[in-house]
Structure 1
Amino acid sequence: MDEFYTRVSNVTKQKLYQYIKDNSTSLLDYNFRDFFHYCIQENKIQVMSHHFTNHKIEGLTIIDQDGISFSYERDNPKSKQNFTLCHELGHFILNHSGTCFTESVDNQENVLEKEANIFSAVVLMPNIVLLSKIYYSCENFQKVQTSLEVSKQALYFRLLDLLREYFPDKEGQIKEAVEEYIERNNASIHNFFHTIKEKIIAEFNQYGPSLMNQIRNRIDEKGFVSSQEIPELLYQENWANLKENIKHLKIWLVYNKGKQRAYAWDSLKLSDEQARKKAELQLLLM
């Protein structure tokens, strides 16, 4: 596999794997939609459909003074729409230079379009998810295709590209293994995944939940979090950044008989007194 593919794939996985870890996403239940909607909401991107009678324009990204918008051909099959949406997101996440990007049947050889295609394939079908589904859960090709909402062609080429990264000199064997897998014979593709499983897992485990997102998720869910759940909350050097980036967040320390507990709360959900009592109760139960 060439350096071009590997570079774009790695950049994509950095963003995606961090999201998966931050949100404790189930690998067997993974679907691109959660990550996609997170990116859309985080960056205030408008998404809409379009229609051109010649069907030449699959997707569009427009960046101007009014913001960022993606659109997709509404008459395309759902799996193609999914690929297009992730493709357009790729232009944004990969920081492509420009204000208008057109995914068209006429520009497939454009370098930026190729990069966006790689981004889309990896987001729709991440390495760690394919390992989980195909090797550990022993799902057949059709089940993986359906659960990830991709086309047969997209999954076929994604498996070829993934295995080529690790086995650049086994082109013929890779193609044969993937074709056998489509026909419900998974022995060969299992052997390939068995050889590379530790590398895929190690790459995924480079990432851990960020303190910011751990705190934000617990505050969104319960309105309160303490250092009993997230010990890093005790480090007061983190507080200023947390308060700056999480709305209505308050943080404090409570002491009792030599013990201390840091706690944070949403000031719109809990009063200062309610939050303090929750923290004191946790100390008593220690």
Structure 2
Amino acid sequence: MSVVNGCGQMDLIRKAIETAERVFAKNSYFFGDFMTYRCDSLLVRIIDQENIFLDSYPFKSENLCGMLIVDEYEKTIVYNSTLIAERRNFTIAHELGHYFLHRDKQSKFTDRSKDIDDNTLNELEMQANVFAAQLILPNSIVLHLLQNGLHYFQIKKKVQISYQALYWRLVNYLINNHGLNKSIAQQVVEEFRYFSEASMNNIVHHKMASIYSIVTRTERQKFFV
């Protein structure tokens, strides 16, 4: 197992984010209106463009999420058919991360739940996770959905992303694109979740959450710079 720290890890993260954004940009024209965006539609589009065979199988072990095989005979992604939709989407995106970032390093990747966890120390798995989160919810989609006033659970449903994956994706979006530190970013996202849930119960409107003003203010500043 290869473990990296500090600047080396940041370089790996940056490469994963940039690669995912390039892959999305190449296929973004497929969505005429970003309000119609769904990550499963994007994943199918990419798999088709790359001529990858996608298959599912009910693996006996629930911990086995998926695998990627790339050699002179085939390019195949197999996912566990017992996975719920959100976990399936992340697993497929994770395998695409291996495909775009690591296929020159090895020809087969077998991924279990521990490999797709946020706290994995393996550099290839960590990088594939960062790629997957960025691909499922690219920067332009995050911005568009927030600018159109969607709340936390509307974004989750529309994108087909898990509760936890959306939380950390928004935290990292605020850190990387709006200059917040991790602690403040987490507070903002937790407030966003709270107001979103309260809004669904008609207690308070979700647009009172500070995430909307942060995103709008920063984008306005970029425009006038």
> Is 1:188 aligned with 2:207?
no
Q: For this pair of structures, how many residues does the alignment match?
A: 199
- How far is the alpha carbon of 1:98 from its aligned partner? 0.8
Q: Secondary structure at the match of 2:121?
A: coil
Change (3 A) 1:106 1:131: closer
Which amino acid is the alignment partner of residue 120 of structure 1?
A: A
Give the % identical residues. 22
> Is 1:110 aligned with 2:118?
no
- How far is the alpha carbon of 1:195 from its aligned partner? 3.6
> Is 1:175 aligned with 2:183?
no
**Larger helix share, 1 or 2:** 2
- How far is the alpha carbon of 1:6 from its aligned partner? 2.4
Q: 1:65 & 1:17 partners in 2: Cα distance? A: 28
Q: 2:217 & 2:111 partners in 1: Cα distance? A: 36
Q: Deviations over 1:92-151 (max 9, x none)?
A: 1224321111221344322111111111111111111111111x2101111100000011
CA contact (8 A) 2:67 2:95 kept: yes
Partner of 1:211: none
Change (3 A) 1:198 1:128: farther
Pairing partner for 1:157 from 150, 165, 168: 168
Partner of 2:26: 18
Per the normalisation by structure 2, the TM-score is 0.79
Which amino acid is the alignment partner of residue 125 of structure 1?
A: L
1:37-48 pair list within 5 angstroms: 37-48=44-55
**Larger strand share, 1 or 2:** 1
Q: Deviations over 1:158-216 (max 9, x none)?
A: 00111111355532221111011111244311122124336899xxxxxxxxxxxxxxx
> Is 1:84 aligned with 2:95?
no
Change (3 A) 1:200 1:84: farther
Partner of 1:55: 62
Q: Secondary structure at the match of 1:192?
A: helix
Pairing partner for 2:133 from 107, 111, 121: 121
Greater relative contact order, per chain length (Cα 8 Å cut-off, separation 6+): 2
Structure with greater Cα Rg: 1
Partner of 1:67: 74
Gaps of 5+ in 2: 1-8, 197-205
CA contact (8 A) 2:174 2:180 kept: no
Q: 1:200 & 1:42 partners in 2: Cα distance? A: 34
Q: Secondary structure at the match of 1:94?
A: helix
Gaps of 5+ in 1: 202-286
CA contact (8 A) 1:6 1:165 kept: no
Pairing partner for 2:101 from 73, 89, 94: 94
Change (3 A) 1:169 1:84: same
Partner of 2:159: 148
CA contact (8 A) 2:57 2:78 kept: yes
- How far is the alpha carbon of 1:30 from its aligned partner? 1.2
Q: Secondary structure at the match of 1:101?
A: strand
Q: Secondary structure at the match of 1:75?
A: coil
Q: 1:175 & 1:200 partners in 2: Cα distance? A: 23
Change (3 A) 1:74 1:199: farther
C-alpha RMSD of matched pairs (Å):
2.3
